[in-house]
Amino acid sequence: MLKKQNQFSLRNYAWSILIAFLSAGWFYPTIGLMAIVCMAAPIVVAAFSGKRKWCALFCPRGIFNDVILKKITRNVKPPAFLISTAFKIVFFVFLMANLILGLADANSIAEAGLVFVRLVSVTTAIAIVVGFYYQHRAWCGFCPMGFLASLTIRWKQMSKKKRHKNITVNKLEQLQEDKLHEKKAS
Ligand code: SF4
């Protein structure tokens, strides 16, 4: 119970990590590189847990949406296209292309960090607009990292099913072989 209360109160303040990152990032752009951790975490956690635990519990932007945007959202269902796979793919490619082009142009660590600061600023602005206009977690419906985390889980489930199928087929083959040996022996 106490543990749950602590988690709850921590979540009430953890959104400030996002604000601190953005505020400091514009003055000390190297800080921007920390965004790599937050970008990789949803995928890594999904790969190990098979669930979007990072998104549900730890993502600073997710927490920002839950704690701050929830207070101001109009709470209107987002249009279907916003969470369609086609839109997610287009948006993912668009953001990644911008990120890669920006990094390719960067001549120093600070400039590379600034690319991340800009990216997080723009995506936060989008998250605020859609979070206010639709639902507080509307951004998470098409967030590129959340999308990759979902794909990771699907891939994990598919490979688990395939492994299970292979084991079953192997067992059946073994059973048939055993029966054949028994027949030959008798
Ligand atoms: S979908 Fe994106 S923004 Fe939302 S919680 Fe997951 S990683 Fe964070």
Task: Indicate the domain borders of the chain.
Answer: 2-185
Residue 137 CB-density burial (10 A; 0-12 exposed, 13-18 middle, 19+ buried): buried
Residue 158 CA to residue 80 CA, distance in Å, equals 26
Q: Please report the atom of ligand 1 found closest to the CA of residue 141.
A: 1
pLDDT at 66: 96
Residue 87 CA to residue 49 CA, distance in Å, equals 26
Q: Please report the atom of ligand 1 found closest to the CA of residue 146.
A: 1
Tens of pLDDT, residues 60-112: 999 999 999 999 999 999 999 999 999 999 999 999 999 999 999 999 999 99
Best mutation site among 21, 51, 55 for ligand 1, i.e. most ligand atoms within 8 A of its Cβ?
55
Neighbours of 151 (CB within 10 A): 14
pLDDT at 182: 81
Which among 73, 118, 79 has a CA at the least distance from the CA of 99? 118
C-alpha 145 – ligand 1 centre gap (Å):
6
For residue 164, give Cα distances in angstroms to 118, 121, 157, 172, 174. Answer: 45, 44, 10, 12, 15
Better pLDDT: 185 or 61: 61
C-alpha 168 – ligand 1 centre gap (Å):
37
Confidence category of residue 6, pLDDT binned at 50, 70, 90: low
